[in-house]
Structure 1
Amino acid sequence: MLLPSASAVGTSLDNVQWETILRSVSARGGFRMEYGAAAGTREIAHFLILDRRMPRSLAFCVRKIRDNLSYVNRGVLQPGLAQRKVQHLETTYLSHDIDAVFEYGLHDYIQKFLALLAELSGQIETDFRFSE
């Protein structure tokens, strides 16, 4: 929760915080080139979560995880549990539009997504024996 109250959504404080998030992931320039200066919260959230072209978006990173798991599993007939977890992330959380994310609840969505990424990380560790 970044804002002091729900009534602050859409205010200048809200906008400043979204701009800060863009700058913190070095995405402000790319965002402005794509959406222009008048874009708002939904566009920023879309850019950071669902835009497959933005290298730090959740969608881009999950796609890279999928590609890398496919590479290391080349020649294996059945996809491993880690690959199935990636597929679940893509189909359940990254195949919708930003309105569905906001309807789910942005904070809840991000928390759930991060929990699933942690599970995926543990599964990759298990599948590839990174821990003994």
Structure 2
Amino acid sequence: MSSDDMRTLTQIQNVVAVDWYMSLLKRGPFIGANLALDDDDDQSGMGVEFIWMTPEQTVDEALKAYPGRLVLKLGLLPIGMCAEGTGDPYFLDLRGDFNEDPPLVRVPHDFAGGGDSYPLDKIEKISDHLSEFLRLSKIEDG
């Protein structure tokens, strides 16, 4: 990850989340990876085709797009976009004590209209831990 990428991510005001996320990105070739998870391994039961966002896409979702703007203030950090065409972004749930291995969730954009909050019961848990998602997912050709 370049120093420009790091500067881009610092536009997001949640410094703890950004510092942790930058550290994660430095550990592996995540950016642009296309990952798939079978329905049986996805806690939502819907399966996942996920493209890891660039730092620019992460900032755009967090600060300019919906539902990102709504759920960032709840402690969710955008990291992925749907590769199947739904437009539903994926987030790390950094609320509470996530012990360096937060849950991965999908936030359907259908419920992001008309207000300044997002209904928590519409957030779909994909995996209890990012490490579990990465272990179970397959890398797809993009």
TM-score normalised by the chain length of structure 1: 0.31
Highest RCO, 1 vs 2 (Cα 8 Å, sep ≥ 6) = 2
| Structure with more of its chain in strand, by fraction | 2
| Structure with more of its chain in helix, by fraction | 1
CA radius of gyration, larger in: 1
